[in-house]
Structure 1
Amino acid sequence: MAESGGALSRSGLRGREIELEELQALIASVARTGSGGLALIQGEPGIGKTTLLAEAVSLARAAGFSVGVGKADELHRVVPLSSLASCVVHGEQPLLSGDVFADLARHHDQRIWLVERLAEVIEARAGSVPVLIALDDVQWADPLSRFALQQLPTRLRSSPVLWMVTGRREPTGPAEEIVAAARDELPTVTVRLGPLSGAAICQLAGDTLGAAADERVRDLLDGAGGNPFLAIEMLAGVRKAEASDELVPPGLVVGVRGRLKSLQPDTLRFLQMGAVLGRRFGFYDAAALCGQPSAMLIAALEEAVHAGLLDDDGDHLVFRHDLLRQAVYVDIPPSARKALHREAAHHLVAAGGRPIDAVPHILRGALPGDEEAVGLLRRAADDVLPVTPGLAADLMTRALELVPSARPLRYAVGEQTIVCLTQAGRNREALATGDQLLAYRPPLETFSRLQAALGGTLWSMDVADELRRRAETALAMGGAAPEVGARLAALRALALSRGQDLAAAREAGETALRAATAAGDREAHVLALSGLGEIAQNAGENAVALERFAALSAVDSAFLPEEIVAYTHVDDFASSERVLLRAADSAGSFRQAMMLWAQGLHDLGLGRLDDADADFATMERLEDEVQVPVQQVNGRVIRSRIALLRGDREAAREHLAEARERLAVKPNPGNTAAVRFLEAVHAEADGDIELAVDKIRQVQEKGFFMRWRLLRDWVDLAIRMALRGADHELAEDLAAQAEAHAERNPAVPTATGIAAQALGLVKNDLAMLQRSAELLRASPRPLVRAAAHADLGQALLAAGRKPEAVAALTYAQGAFAESGAPAAAARVQRALEGAGAGGRRAVATTQRPVQGWGALTASERKVARLIAEGHTNRSAADLLVVSPHTVNTHLTSVFRKLSVNSRVQLANLVLALPES
């Protein structure tokens, strides 16, 4: 830490030797083990956080680390990724060029995608040299940087990447969130800096004054309370007083004010304008606020730098410490501050700055009725909505507050606020905002626009009936612009997709699509196609659903996951894989979590249970990260089924419990039906067949639109439960459902084969079960084929046709085993043993250990070998045709099972394995 007259000889480190040793040990650990680490340096302003961080950075650089250091700024904490940019763009060897970083932040509107790309860049650098990324004053970090800092340390835990952040204890939040996210995944160190000891303060005095402090100085320094910055400022005052025979100032505030009063008026005004702009500001901007040409303020700048108040880094001016800026800032009268912030906002935009750069000043300086401020907030919200919807919602909420209720502008601002709140997942707040605006009885055209804006909110809230009612009311009242009318019609069709009259829903959807085309409105077009796709899926018309979703994704790539899933429903896994690969190579705006959902269904259909389980686990993590839960209930339902197929009853029950918890948060009909079905599966496994049958009956009676979606591939399981429970009527209803599904999808082998299987089970018809096995030879779904062959084998055994039975059962056992379903394979094995045949017992039924190489799934072994060979997550994902996020999930499991912490340790372990 420097004082006003020059550098201090390591004075800022007096009394911090233990803390520095702790950080040095972490630096050495990361370099030695090749795994990640995180350190938080925490304490009050002026306590020495920045100085300790700077020394730790020097040690890391001397140890061969590639270093990126940045500092968050209070007045820039709303600018997306500005804080992290200061770490990865600047320095001797920047991790990213400024242009590349700007391209990432500007053109790619997915937080998860952005973090993954940053991780790939950092991972690549860490492949050749350990990396340190340090951020000072993390309490001021912008929301997107905070999001990235919560994800990146764990994502890069297997690489030698060390993260260091400093933060105040107040305000709390960002620092603790970052540490909490990493604590269970990698070594974390929290260094809390308290007051310096009296001895250390005296050493500071000796460093500054060049001699031991006398009693008078020691008494003065007691007022610093062990804060090194305050002590140094007091010592600067002492030295100045001694040089000029003045009285020694009694404390920091008085001391700084005394120094300020000694400045020329132009210098003081210049400093005040800088303090309004922030700790780091432009000379030209401060001169503009002063209302003077830049050339007239050079003397003021020189005096401020000479007084030790400002540093000049060549591009910007920086207050030497934030406490100095605050001391200058608080001396500006509050009303003047507000006016200056408003003037600063106007100047920054007029000078070509982005709206988001002016927002901090707008938030501090705008008054109700300021329409220019409202316009800036609206433009800034548009800019940040894709990456930080929560911030966009906050900005629009503030903009709405600034517009008096009597002005027509309030409705336009309110409509934008509803959209931002909905995208931020704040649906109840969006609905309340909309209803408050509607209560003012706006004109009919405005009424329709607001109801259309609320459509997305109501759909997200799973209140289809309310969505339909509002859309129909707005349409009936008339007065809507053509594009708004088309959106309302499409929203009505979307709501009708959840009803029982799907013919009427389809007609409404077609009408809405024609209206959207006539109006030329993209949003209405997307809504209409989405509604028609939903209607087709709920009607079990898979080819029609594919047609709609393919058209939809062509209009908006965000819907690529729906197209992929639609391909799997028509058994076209080659096309679903093609689209997955296309999505992986693109930077489209599709939803990353939903893409994992599509990948999971693709892998599940192909019998890749290990990959599917990892896909769904990763999907849930990504949804948690962006706080937008969509498929978590269904993901847990499928994972519970996978666990039962594996024979892991404990995990299966845990997934059921989690599914129930998530159902309570999102209790829509689809989620309810899915959990009831899973409860039926568990009831049967527990021997309570009566409860199992009751749950299946509830699904059939109360989850009408889920008939085609939920039991599409699992109807045989439901029929077996019904037959075991002697509910033949339910079994026949299920078989009729499967037959109707096959009639709707005659070109889908899985649909026709399952329909024959269902009929064979209900009628105990061996010929029909044989027909099912024949039809399913064309199905790409190994688990479906295995189940059909298991049913056929049992029927053949009952008919006394043992050789054919053994062949069918052996096929089923092998298919289950190869898909990673040992419990299902073991059940078939028991049937084979009952028939006097041994089967493939060793392959099918061996239980994996918990730890060690043998504990890894087949997919985890592939990932482990690729990473050990030097592949990154991205390159391994490309080879395995999975998401990098899924590779990361597999790698986390690999590290846990093998008890390793880094890629280097993993490589050493894999190289030591015997060749196989």
Structure 2
Amino acid sequence: MAGTGRSLSRRGLRGREAELEELHTLIVSVAGTGSGALALIRGEAGIGKTTLLTEAVARAEAAGFSVGVGKADELHHLVPLSSLAACVLDGDRPLLSGDAFTDLAGGHDQRIWLVERLAEAIEDRAGSVPVLIALDDVQWADPLSRFALKQLPTRLRTSPVLWLLTGRRGVDGPAQEILTAVGPQLPVRTVSLGPLSGTAIGQLAGDTLAASVDERVCGLLEGAGGNPFLAVEMLAGLRTAGTSAKTPDQLVPPGLVVGVRGRLRSLRPGTLRFLQMGAVLGRGFAFHDAAALCGAPSVASLAALEEAVGAGLLDDEGDQLVFRHDLLRQAVYVDIPPSARKALHREAAGRLVSAGHRPIDVVSHLLRGAQPGDEEAVTLLRRAADDVLPVTPGLAADLMTRALELVPTARPSWFAVGEQAVVCLTRAGRNREALATGDRLLSYRPPVEMFGRLQAALGGTLWNMDLTEELRRRTEAALAVGGAAPEVGARLAALRALALSRGHDLAAARAAGEEALRAAVATGDRQAHVQALSALGEIALNAGETALALDRFTALSAVDPSFFPEEIVACQHVDDFETGERLLAKAAENTGGLREAMLLWAQGQQHLGLGRLDDADADFVTMERLEDDVRVSVQQVNARVIRSRIALLRGDREAARRHLAAAREMRAAKPNPGNTAAVRFLEAVHADADGEPRQAVERIHQVQEEGPFLRWRLLRTWVGGAVRIALRGGDRRLAEDLAAQAEDHAGRNPSVPTATGVAAWARGLVTNDVVLLERAVTLLAKSPRPLVRASAHTDLGRALLAAGRRAEAVAALTVARAAFTASGAHAAAAQVQRDLPGGGHRRAASGRRPVEGWAALTASERKVARLVAEGHTNRTAAELLVVSPHTVNTHLTSAFRKLAVNSRVQLANLVRSLPDD
């Protein structure tokens, strides 16, 4: 059970036969069904987890699996993706080439992007052969690997991929996080290893000693407590000592790992010192690094290496030396005095950096060995934080927090380190901590230039916290103090303009933004340039000037491609969905630098605008999941509001109420004016549907009062419904106000058919003017938004009926019903059917899909199912459908649930059995 044949000549797996068979059954199931699964082997150190994993891997290889095996390391648990590196680079046919893996780990701006690339590589391999990915000691997995392990099993649950992890006993930590994330979405087995039975220990002893076991040895082994590793080490010590020893005490000294310490005492001093230096470096280390820490040339440490390998303490893997078991390393490590450990870790960090290692590779040593005032350690921590910020912002924030602790308070460098800490904390979503850190720094009265830098760094924090008035106050104070570098002044000016975008005087905000943009261009500061263009885009949207907003966001995405989604949404605001479609296709080709969740928001808005309700709902579901994954909530309230409205259009009142409840809960956590207004409007729609007109009108009033800019951003295409609510509630003044609002918006956007058509539609509703409603329908004929057109046709048809123009009314209502039906708005279509003359006397087809079987699938789910059945991966299917691979995964998950299948193979068989459409 020790993991090598050096101290155990094993004749079969002693005492773990049942557990191995359980894992073998899972291996067979994954290969047979073609669906994924996860197993966790859990137990105390030395209990045999690694050996059982090794045996399971051998079984999987014999069954034809493509196998990747890795082991997390206690002293490398901070290096991004280091734990999964061996898994995907392992074996004769690695899942990724070294170059491809380097590209993945080389600083892309999205953890989601990285996980998707890994998923594609694994999915591609699993298309031809089942895959096993095994990670030993998951409790020491680095944060990015843990993040990936929480996403990948469910992402790949429809492929034959078996995840096999081992972890120390306990209910908390990475192993439990992964199990919780996987949840009920795929089969999970937990194999708990307890102490070996006396019989198994006896068999183990016989294997090791190659002889029968007498009572003296049996008594000795009772001290192992059923732990196979300790038993093997005791037996190895017994075998080494020979049969001349008289008492167990002479063979097994007391201690944590009794047999290990006994063997260590028999080593030459130089060998023990070499092992101790290796233990400081980690479970795996380079020979020359350990020799250097010993203060001797490499040649002088050869004898120590030979003795350590010969004693079965180290394995020589060619490129590095590895302690044969973590307990061996720990037994060596704990015998080093604590004060010496700290010094040795610090020395190790310096040695490794000098040898060319990256700062992040030595961070674990710095955290153990750096003392306050260690400027070199601070510099290395700052460099490491910069390197990992794009993919593990939480780790970057932790490193900078520690760096700040190492710098004496109020030194000039303390403020610079603090500024970087604020930025990292903000990127990690720890905004309150960032603000508290910044305010503490400011309380020590930094130099004037640093005062401006700190306030500029806090700008993003305050914006994220929706403290726009505080942002305005601080930026104006910093600008008034002066003394900041020109580029910092440009950033402050841009942040001030951004804060003003939420105010009432948008003309002043625009002037401030233009001035900030000029300053940014003059200084050549990219950050200031991005902030100024972002502010101007926000101001234009809030002013209802959609063409100008498009200009600003187009310029912004040219400077920073991560703002590509904003440009796509801006195209939609001017009814240019064709360009939006092209930009989405372009974004799909190069998503590495984009914000994946925001791109899904843009895609969802595209589908919603074009009346593809099923696709829009899937996009928003996926977007919310991705925001949850990275723990950054931006559009979740708005997404739930839209999903609730989609559910109402479909006729699913239960889902609509569920989304409303979720939107309210999310708004409570982020109660900014936009979220509040969106939820209030949704409440108005629900109240109207529930026959509570007064409450509906009250909510619309609240929306109007939240802020002038919300009129343009929230009710742009929904103002017709708001007017109807006002009229049904008997509030003609509110209806007039809403119609005037729509006309004002049309005046600002005369070239946008939706804007001009909605204005005529709203006014026609208020005045009950059939001519105006006919004009609205004519104007909206050029709008690409079928749901808006259908709603206008509905109101025209009703007005024509009231005017006695039956034939024309039927024509208008028939157009509306067809448009609603085509979009999947079955409840709206049914309502129009009831409005048709004679429609109330015959049963209107609900259009509702069944909940199970092929007929239950949406059109997009069917397309995805057929493509996957043909052998497409999520990525290639997404390219053909011009959607995100994440959305394909959402469609596929839904299709699997409705069809009651668990793998791509089962799906392919089902699809092949269907008649051609």
Q: TM class, shorter-chain normalised?
A: over 0.9
Q: What CA distance in whole angstroms lies between the structure 2 residues aligned with 1:355 and 1:65?
A: 37
Match of 1:522 among 511, 523, 526: 526
Q: Aligned to 1:106, what secondary structure does the other structure show?
A: coil
**Per-residue CA shift, 1:708-750, capped at 9, x if unaligned?**
0100000000000000011000000000000001011011000
- Counterpart of 1:565 in structure 2: which amino acid? V
Using the TM superposition, give the Cα deviation of residue 588 of structure 1 relative to its aligned residue in structure 2, in angstroms.
3.9
The aligned counterpart of 1:168 is 168
The aligned counterpart of 1:248 is 251
* 8 Å contact kept, 2:253–2:262: no
* 8 Å contact kept, 1:57–1:67: yes
The aligned counterpart of 2:306 is 302
**Is 2:886 aligned against 1:885?**
yes
Using the TM superposition, give the Cα deviation of residue 230 of structure 1 relative to its aligned residue in structure 2, in angstroms.
0.5
Moved runs in structure 1, 4+ residues, more than 6 A? 835-839
* 8 Å contact kept, 2:7–2:312: no
| 1:662-741 paired onto structure 2 within 5 Å | 662-741=666-745
The aligned counterpart of 1:117 is 117
Q: Aligned to 2:64, what secondary structure does the other structure show?
A: coil
Q: Aligned to 1:654, what secondary structure does the other structure show?
A: helix
In structure 2, do the counterparts of structure 1 residues 293 and 712 end up closer, same or farther at CA, with 3 Å as the change threshold? same
**Per-residue CA shift, 1:795-849, capped at 9, x if unaligned?**
111111111111111100000000111001100011114469989x55xx22211
Using the TM superposition, give the Cα deviation of residue 183 of structure 1 relative to its aligned residue in structure 2, in angstroms.
2.7
Using the TM superposition, give the Cα deviation of residue 60 of structure 1 relative to its aligned residue in structure 2, in angstroms.
0.3
**Is 2:450 aligned against 1:446?**
yes
Q: What CA distance in whole angstroms lies between the structure 2 residues aligned with 1:847 and 1:490?
A: 50
The aligned counterpart of 1:96 is 96
* 8 Å contact kept, 1:3–1:233: no
| 1:322-341 paired onto structure 2 within 5 Å | 322-341=326-345
* 8 Å contact kept, 2:237–2:262: no
- Counterpart of 2:277 in structure 1: which amino acid? M
Using the TM superposition, give the Cα deviation of residue 253 of structure 1 relative to its aligned residue in structure 2, in angstroms.
3.0
Q: What CA distance in whole angstroms lies between the structure 1 residues aligned with 2:416 and 2:635?
A: 33
The aligned counterpart of 2:560 is 556
Q: What CA distance in whole angstroms lies between the structure 1 residues aligned with 2:313 and 2:619?
A: 54
In structure 2, do the counterparts of structure 1 residues 406 and 207 end up closer, same or farther at CA, with 3 Å as the change threshold? same
Tell me which moved more, 444-453 or 235-244: 235-244
Match of 2:425 among 417, 421, 425: 421
- Counterpart of 1:895 in structure 2: which amino acid? F
The aligned counterpart of 2:53 is 53
Unaligned runs of 5+ in 2: none
* 8 Å contact kept, 2:3–2:51: no
Using the TM superposition, give the Cα deviation of residue 99 of structure 1 relative to its aligned residue in structure 2, in angstroms.
1.1
**Is 2:894 aligned against 1:914?**
no
**Per-residue CA shift, 1:147-183, capped at 9, x if unaligned?**
0000000000000000000000258310011111113
* 8 Å contact kept, 2:107–2:391: no
The aligned counterpart of 1:220 is 220
Q: Aligned to 1:13, what secondary structure does the other structure show?
A: coil
- Counterpart of 2:880 in structure 1: which amino acid? L
Tell me which moved more, 583-592 or 60-69: 583-592
**Per-residue CA shift, 1:57-78, capped at 9, x if unaligned?**
0000000000000000011110
The aligned counterpart of 1:538 is 542
Match of 2:324 among 307, 320, 323: 320
Q: Aligned to 2:781, what secondary structure does the other structure show?
A: helix
* 8 Å contact kept, 2:640–2:660: yes
In structure 2, do the counterparts of structure 1 residues 244 and 79 end up closer, same or farther at CA, with 3 Å as the change threshold? farther
**Is 2:315 aligned against 1:281?**
no
Q: What CA distance in whole angstroms lies between the structure 1 residues aligned with 2:786 and 2:10?
A: 68
* 8 Å contact kept, 2:278–2:285: yes
Q: What CA distance in whole angstroms lies between the structure 1 residues aligned with 2:689 and 2:761?
A: 22
In structure 2, do the counterparts of structure 1 residues 810 and 207 end up closer, same or farther at CA, with 3 Å as the change threshold? same
* 8 Å contact kept, 2:7–2:208: no
* 8 Å contact kept, 2:33–2:905: yes
* 8 Å contact kept, 1:3–1:308: no
Q: What CA distance in whole angstroms lies between the structure 1 residues aligned with 2:647 and 2:284?
A: 55
In structure 2, do the counterparts of structure 1 residues 379 and 800 end up closer, same or farther at CA, with 3 Å as the change threshold? same
* 8 Å contact kept, 1:4–1:306: no
* 8 Å contact kept, 1:139–1:171: no
In structure 2, do the counterparts of structure 1 residues 79 and 417 end up closer, same or farther at CA, with 3 Å as the change threshold? same
* 8 Å contact kept, 1:139–1:172: no
Using the TM superposition, give the Cα deviation of residue 428 of structure 1 relative to its aligned residue in structure 2, in angstroms.
0.3
* 8 Å contact kept, 2:3–2:50: no
The aligned counterpart of 2:601 is 597
In structure 2, do the counterparts of structure 1 residues 515 and 723 end up closer, same or farther at CA, with 3 Å as the change threshold? same
Q: Aligned to 2:191, what secondary structure does the other structure show?
A: strand
Q: Aligned to 1:847, what secondary structure does the other structure show?
A: coil
Q: What CA distance in whole angstroms lies between the structure 1 residues aligned with 2:596 and 2:77?
A: 26
Q: What CA distance in whole angstroms lies between the structure 2 residues aligned with 1:5 and 1:139?
A: 26
**Per-residue CA shift, 1:843-902, capped at 9, x if unaligned?**
xx2221111111111111111111111111111111111111001001111111111100
**Per-residue CA shift, 1:452-488, capped at 9, x if unaligned?**
1000000000110111011111111111111111111
Q: Aligned to 1:163, what secondary structure does the other structure show?
A: strand
Q: Aligned to 1:915, what secondary structure does the other structure show?
A: coil
The aligned counterpart of 1:18 is 18
| 1:336-735 paired onto structure 2 within 5 Å | 336-735=340-739
Q: What CA distance in whole angstroms lies between the structure 2 residues aligned with 1:143 and 1:66?
A: 25
Q: What CA distance in whole angstroms lies between the structure 2 residues aligned with 1:906 and 1:147?
A: 29
The aligned counterpart of 1:793 is 797
Q: What CA distance in whole angstroms lies between the structure 1 residues aligned with 2:195 and 2:620?
A: 48
**Is 2:193 aligned against 1:193?**
yes
Tell me which moved more, 381-390 or 215-224: 215-224
Using the TM superposition, give the Cα deviation of residue 92 of structure 1 relative to its aligned residue in structure 2, in angstroms.
2.0
In structure 2, do the counterparts of structure 1 residues 461 and 836 end up closer, same or farther at CA, with 3 Å as the change threshold? closer
CA RMSD of aligned residues (A): 1.4
Q: What CA distance in whole angstroms lies between the structure 1 residues aligned with 2:275 and 2:507?
A: 71
Q: What CA distance in whole angstroms lies between the structure 2 residues aligned with 1:244 and 1:5?
A: 25
Using the TM superposition, give the Cα deviation of residue 266 of structure 1 relative to its aligned residue in structure 2, in angstroms.
1.2
The aligned counterpart of 1:847 is 848
Q: What CA distance in whole angstroms lies between the structure 2 residues aligned with 1:273 and 1:138?
A: 25
**Is 2:90 aligned against 1:87?**
no
Q: Aligned to 1:68, what secondary structure does the other structure show?
A: strand
* 8 Å contact kept, 1:802–1:835: no
Q: TM-score, normalised by structure 1?
A: 0.98
Using the TM superposition, give the Cα deviation of residue 617 of structure 1 relative to its aligned residue in structure 2, in angstroms.
0.4
The aligned counterpart of 1:263 is 267
Q: What CA distance in whole angstroms lies between the structure 2 residues aligned with 1:5 and 1:238?
A: 16
Q: What CA distance in whole angstroms lies between the structure 2 residues aligned with 1:24 and 1:37?
A: 12
Unaligned runs of 5+ in 1: none
Q: Aligned to 2:211, what secondary structure does the other structure show?
A: coil
Q: What CA distance in whole angstroms lies between the structure 1 residues aligned with 2:370 and 2:111?
A: 30
Using the TM superposition, give the Cα deviation of residue 9 of structure 1 relative to its aligned residue in structure 2, in angstroms.
4.4
Identity %: 76
Tell me which moved more, 581-590 or 70-79: 581-590
* 8 Å contact kept, 1:108–1:587: no
- Counterpart of 1:115 in structure 2: which amino acid? V
Q: What CA distance in whole angstroms lies between the structure 2 residues aligned with 1:584 and 1:848?
A: 31
- Counterpart of 1:194 in structure 2: which amino acid? G
In structure 2, do the counterparts of structure 1 residues 812 and 601 end up closer, same or farther at CA, with 3 Å as the change threshold? same
Q: What CA distance in whole angstroms lies between the structure 2 residues aligned with 1:316 and 1:541?
A: 63
Q: TM-score, normalised by structure 2?
A: 0.98
- Counterpart of 1:57 in structure 2: which amino acid? V
Using the TM superposition, give the Cα deviation of residue 214 of structure 1 relative to its aligned residue in structure 2, in angstroms.
1.2
**Per-residue CA shift, 1:622-680, capped at 9, x if unaligned?**
00000000000000000000000000000000000000010011000000000000000
Q: Aligned to 1:183, what secondary structure does the other structure show?
A: helix
The aligned counterpart of 1:106 is 106
